[in-house]
A and B are shown apart, each in its own frame.
Chain A
Amino acid sequence: MTLALTRPVTGRLRLRTRPRPGLAVAAVFLALILTAVAWPSLFGGDPLAADPLNVLQAPSARHWFGTDQLGRDVFDRVVHGARHSLSIGVAATLIATSTGILLGLLAGLGHRYADEAFSRTFDALSAFPIVLLALLFIAVAGTGTTSLIVAIGVALTPHYARVVRAQTFVVRRAAYVTHAVAFGASRPRLVVRHVLPNVLGPIPVIAVIGLGEAVLIAAGLSFLGLGPQPPSPEWGAMLSEGRGYLHIAWWASVLPGLVVTATIISLTALGRHFQRRFEGRTA
């Protein structure tokens, strides 16, 4: 903060207007990934087609990312895996945001005791690493894609709930809310018309950044074998299957790993960009 104050104002302005090639690359990459999610067969062939006589082939014109230990095309699997990995991330983020908004509003608008109860619970849950919470949930509910989605969703919920609660506190003290109360607006109308829309403002921004995290956790848990089961092409599972062949076939794990990395960096870069835009608008 002090650093920003000592800087000349022009520097900040130039920073904001400078073109961002990195951002463009991130956007294009994400667009490609989203296309792969929607129409995987546009890019890739059958991700399950094994060819035992062509296992662990190096990347070539025929197999862009090489083949894995069963002779399956790694590129096809990465493309089809996008649907698995991203939809887990998106579904988990949707669960986390919707539950988070509900609980945050309840805490922010409810009775003082309710707020205390909710807030201390969120604090306690936030003390645990997200992966650990998700693991706990899976240990209870069992493995599988649905369980993985719910686990990550539950684990990320406190994060969103705290943001919504804090935002609710700001909004409920805003002049327009006080005015609406003075005009005699009913409580449900107050919440739906005035509080909710203003509370939701920052949610899409943090959700985009959070999506990257959700995808990463999903890949991590799948790496441990807690996500979609073989032969499903899932990025984390591909890393896990390929790691035994790292000596002789780096492409089977390194290339899917690079795609995971690029996806998460792109999501975060885009999220940060939105965040800056959003903060600029409200400031």
Chain B
Amino acid sequence: MRRTRLAAAVATLALLGACSTGSANDTADAGQPVSGGSLTWAVETEPITFNPHLYAQAKARLLVWNTFESLLTHDSQGGYVPWLATGYEVSPDGRTYTFKLRTDVTFSDGTKFDAAAVKANVDQLLVPNYAPAVAAVQLRNLDAVEVVDDATVAFKLKAPDVLILDFASSPQGAQVSPKSLKEAKNLKAGGPELAGTGPFVLDRYIQGQEVHFVKNPAYNWAPANAGHTGPAYLDEITYRFLKESSVRVGALTSNQVHVIEGVPATDEALITGNPALSLQRGLNSGSAYSYYLNVANAPFDDLKVRQAFRAAVDVDAVLTGVYRGTATRAWSVVGPTSPFYDKTLEGTFGGDPELANKLLDEAGWTTRDAEGYRTKAGKRLTVRLVQNAPFVRDRRDVLAQAVQAAVKQSAGIDLNVALVDQGTATKALADGEYEVFDNSRADTDAGAALNLLLHSAGAINRTGFTDAGLDGLLDDAQASTDTAARTEAYRQVQKLVNDQALVLPLYAPADQIAASTSVGGLGFEPTAGVPVSAYHLWLSK
């Protein structure tokens, strides 16, 4: 009896394993949407702030839209859908963007949403030292915000800037109640003090444990592509911060939580093998997860050493080892889902130890020390990667160790990896005490990411590479509303980055959601590709 049951179970498992590899959307199991219920979702990353203006972690994006909303949102074709705005107009010279606003929206603290609120938010963003990255990059062409009437607001620009629409749909451009902006004691950290217009209200945050949201019953202004209208289905939702992937998977398989995100490739079989669970994957927008090489420091001031580092890594083998073939390899700094992605770069570098060794010999790193690392004039060929712990996801620490082993084995390069807290990382980066910087940006418009990462004025230009030609290309692309012209400019940018070996692209960041089949409405945000907010979810009875 026991044996036959076991055999049946094994057969079922095998069958299910075979069926669910296509990552189909299993929400049909949850039936029709129902209202009510309390859902628990285990997330990998604890946000460093709940203030949307200071949003920086792609993994925190799904929390932002519960409480806050922007003027626009994205559709799945790279266009925009009205949200708190009902529409926008661009002046013929491309220097005035006029937004018409909804008149039926109130913040959860009772303040009315109007043109003055939009202006208050932008003014706050421009306060020195409040959100320097937003002020210096996303709003760098902004001249002034003018309140035309209660329901109309105009963004006056110093120069044409198509990315202002991306700002208007980004978390940083989300609308916080002007009353909170004025009165919040801890504005930068955010939390229950900050009122938004979203379908949920953040009512409890316990650091290191969880954040809890309750339904906003007055909510009735979802964007047209949200799938439903009126208040959210769920009464409340709790996000628990479980940093350890094995703990998250264990919490799901033991029914302690309904949904988890960040499922390591090695654990996917545990999910797909269980008929009560479903798994979905979505590729993120923005830039690929890449190593940026710091040309300001030796040895990466030498192009040959940069090229050698890139050639020394067999990215495919490393990704197979760490992600079991579930990761999508990146070939350019621009992510493969972006319309600007240059496909011709595929297969142009990497996995060539012979070339790496030849280049290093030419660059003068000809001798080796006792541990097998290359040396030049008695100095070891060492490069340092400083990983900022709150931003480490998808086992990027393990990936770094795999790259570390690869460059040592194939070319005798010493990649020194340090996983440190945010303060230490910020200091190391500010002091230039690094040669490798790792980053991926989930910007919905990849151009916004490139402005930050590659422009000489970019807030996170960690390559230290400055080039007037590169800046010119980025500026032209930002000013143009013509997609074909932008694509061509970004193609040239990617080629330049590739020729200079400034970047070692590794993989296209993706999100994985695993859930009990009782949860409906799960999916990924259009364009951004990150998990949807709780507005879409329901829990079947």
Give 1 or 0 for each of A55-86: 1 = CB within 8 Å of chain B CB.
Answer: 11000000000000111100000000000000
Q: A56-B266, A230-B401, A244-B264 are in contact. Are A50 and B406 (CB under 8 A)?
A: yes
Residues in chain A near residue B417, CB distance under 8 A: 229-230
Bitwise interface map of B from 261 to 279 toward A, beta carbon under 8 Å scored 1, else 0: 0001011011000000000
Q: Could you tell me which residues of chain A, from 243 to 259, have a CB within 8 Å of some CB in chain B?
A: 243-249
The answer to whether A244 touches B401 (Cβ under 8 A) is no
Contact A70 B405 (CB under 8 A): yes
User: A197 an interface residue at 8 Å Cβ cutoff?
Assistant: no
Q: A230-B401, A244-B245 are in contact. Are A52 and B406 (CB under 8 A)?
A: yes
Query: Does any Cβ of A come within 8 Å of B402's Cβ?
Result: yes
Complex CA gap A243/B405 in Å reads 20
Chain A residues whose CB sits within 8 angstroms of the CB of B244 once the complex forms: 243-244
CB of A159, distance to nearest CB on chain B (Å)? 31
Contact among B246, B395, B404, B406 with A247 in the assembled complex (CB-CB below 8 Å)? B246
Q: In the docked arrangement, what's the CA distance between A76 and B419, Å?
A: 24
CA distance in complex: A52, B269 (Å): 20
Chain A, Cβ-Cβ closest to B269: A248
Contacts of B267 in A (CB 8 A): 247-248
Interface residue B493 (Cβ < 8 Å from any Cβ of A): no
Cβ of B196 to closest chain A Cβ, rounded Å: 35
B142-150, B166-174, B317-325 - interface stretch = B317-325
**A231 near B418: Cβ-Cβ < 8 Å:** no
Find out whether the CB atom of A244 lies under 8 angstroms from the CB atom of B246: yes
Q: How many residues of B contact A (CB 8 A)?
A: 29
B134 at the interface (CB under 8 A from A): no
Neighbouring B residues of A23 by C-beta, 8 Å: none
Q: Is A192 close to B, CB under 8 A?
A: no
| Interface residues in A, total, Cβ within 8 A | 24
Interfacial chain A residues near B419, Cβ < 8 Å:
225
Q: Which chain A residues border B461 with CB–CB below 8 Å? A: none
List CB contacts (< 8 Å) of A225-279 with chain B.
Answer: 225, 229-231, 241, 243-249
Minimum C-beta distance from B159 to chain A (A): 47
Query: A69 touching B398 by the CB < 8 A rule?
Result: yes
Q: Give the shortest distance, in Å, between A242 (CB) and chain B (any CB).
A: 10
Is B249 an interface residue when CB atoms closer than 8 A count as contact? yes
CB distance from A142 to the nearest CB of B (A): 10
Within 8 A of A (CB), among B194-227: none
User: What is the predominant secondary structure among interface residues of chain B facing chain A?
Assistant: helix
Partner of B266, one of A229, A231, A245: A245
B112 at the interface (CB under 8 A from A): no
A48 to B249, CA, bound (A): 29
Q: Which residues of B in the span 239-286 have a Cβ within 8 Å of any Cβ on A?
A: 244-246, 249-250, 264, 266-267, 269-270
Question: Which residue of the partner chain A has the closest CB to B395?
Answer: A244
Query: A216: shortest Cβ distance to chain B, in Å?
Result: 22
A52-B322, A52-B402, A53-B320 given; A247·B409 CB < 8 A: no
Q: Do B321 and A71 touch (CB < 8 A)?
A: yes
- Assembled-state Cα–Cα distance A244/B269 (Å): 15
In the assembled complex, how far is the CB of residue B265 from the closest CB belonging to chain A, in whole angstroms? 10
With beta carbons under 8 angstroms apart, the residue of B250, B321, B408 that contacts A55 is B321
Q: Is the CB of B404 within 8 A of A231?
A: yes
- Nearest CB on A from B178, distance (A): 42
Q: Are B409 and A50 in contact (CB under 8 A)?
A: yes
For B249, B250, B314, B404, which residue has the most chain A Cβ atoms within 10 angstroms? B404
- Binary interface profile of A, 11-50, with partner B (CB < 8 Å = 1, else 0)? 0000000000000000000000000000000000000111
Q: How near does chain B come to A132, taking the closest CB pair, in angstroms?
A: 19
B321 surroundings in chain A (CB, below 8 A): 50-53, 55, 69-71
**Are the CB atoms of B320 and A69 closer together than 8 Å?**
no
> When chains A and B are docked, how far (Å) is the Cα of A56 from the Cα of B402?
13
**B320 cross-chain contacts in A, Cβ below 8 A:** 52-53
A-B contact count (CB 8 A): 69
* Contact yes or no, B405 A50, CB < 8 A: yes
Nearest chain B CB to A48 CB, angstrom units: 6
| A243–B397 CA distance with the chains assembled, in angstroms | 14
- With contacts A244-B246, A245-B246 known, is A48 near B406, CB below 8 A? no
Contact between A52 and B318, CB atoms less than 8 A apart: yes
Residues in B neighbouring A249, C-beta threshold 8 A: 266
CB atoms of B408 and A70 under 8 A apart? no
CB distance from A186 to the nearest CB of B (A): 51
B395-423 near A? 1/0 per residue, CB < 8 Å: 10110011011101100000001110000
CB distance from A252 to the nearest CB of B (A): 11
CB of A48 within 8 A of CB of B408, answer yes
**Which residue of A is nearest B418, CB measured?**
A229
Nearest CB in chain A: distance from B375 CB, A: 18
Question: Is the CB–CB distance between B405 and A231 below 8 Å?
Answer: yes
Residues in A with CB closer than 8 Å to B322 are 52, 55, 69-70
Q: From residue B319, how far is it (CB to closest CB) to chain A in Å?
A: 8
C-alpha gap A45/B320 in the complex (Å)? 24
Chain B proximity of A238: nearest CB distance (Å):
12
Contact A50 B402 (CB under 8 A): yes
- List the A side residues contacting B270 at CB < 8 Å: 247-248
Determine whether the beta carbon of A52 is less than 8 Å from that of B418.
no
A243 is contacted by which of B246, B318, B402, B406 (Cβ under 8 Å)?
Answer: B246
Q: How far is the CB of A53 from chain B (nearest CB, A)?
A: 6
The answer to whether residues A231 and B317 also contact, given A243-B246, A244-B245 and a CB cut-off of 8 A, is no
Q: How far is the CA of A230 from the CA of B401 in the complex (A)?
A: 7
Docked Cα-Cα span, A183 to B305, in Å, equals 77
Chain B residue with minimal CB distance to A248? B266
Q: How far is the CA of A48 from the CA of B415 in the complex (A)?
A: 13
* Closest Cβ–Cβ distance, residue B271 to chain A (whole Å): 11
Minimum distance in angstroms from B42 CB to a CB of chain A: 15
* Chain B positions within 8 Å of A70 at CB level: 321-322, 398, 401-402, 405
Nearest Cβ in chain B — how far from A228, in angstroms?
12
Q: How far is the CB of A261 from chain B (nearest CB, A)?
A: 21
Mark contacts of B45-65 with chain A using CB atoms, 8 A cut-off: 1 yes-contact digit, 0 otherwise: 000000000000000000000
Query: Which residues of the other chain, A, contact B398 by a CB distance below 8 angstroms?
Result: 69-70, 241
What chain A residues lie within 8 Å of B245 (beta carbons)? Answer: 244
Q: A67 → chain B, closest Cβ, in Å? A: 10
Which residues on the B side are within 8 Å of A51 (C-beta)?
321
What's the Cα separation between A55 and B395 when bound, in Å?
14
A53 to B319, CA, bound (A): 9
- The CA-CA distance from A244 to B266 in the complex, in Å, is 9
Q: How far is the CA of A229 from the CA of B386 in the complex (A)?
A: 13
- Contact assessment for A247 and B249 in the assembled complex, using a CB-CB cutoff below 8 Å: yes
Give every chain A residue within 8 A of B317 (Cβ-Cβ): 52-53
13 further A-B pairs in the complex, CB-CB below 8 A; given A52-B320, A52-B402: A48-B408, A49-B409, A50-B401, A52-B317, A70-B401, A71-B321, A72-B405, A243-B246, A244-B264, A246-B246, A247-B246, A248-B267, A248-B269
14 A-B contact pairs sorted by A residue (CB < 8 Å): A48-B405, A49-B405, A50-B405, A50-B406, A52-B320, A53-B320, A53-B321, A56-B266, A70-B401, A230-B401, A247-B246, A247-B249, A247-B267, A248-B267
Q: Chain B residues in contact with chain A, CB under 8 A? A: 244-246, 249-250, 264, 266-267, 269-270, 314, 317-318, 320-322, 395, 397-398, 401-402, 404-406, 408-409, 417-419
Per CB-CB distance, the 4 closest pairs between chain A and chain B, nearest first, are A52-B321, A50-B405, A52-B317, A55-B321
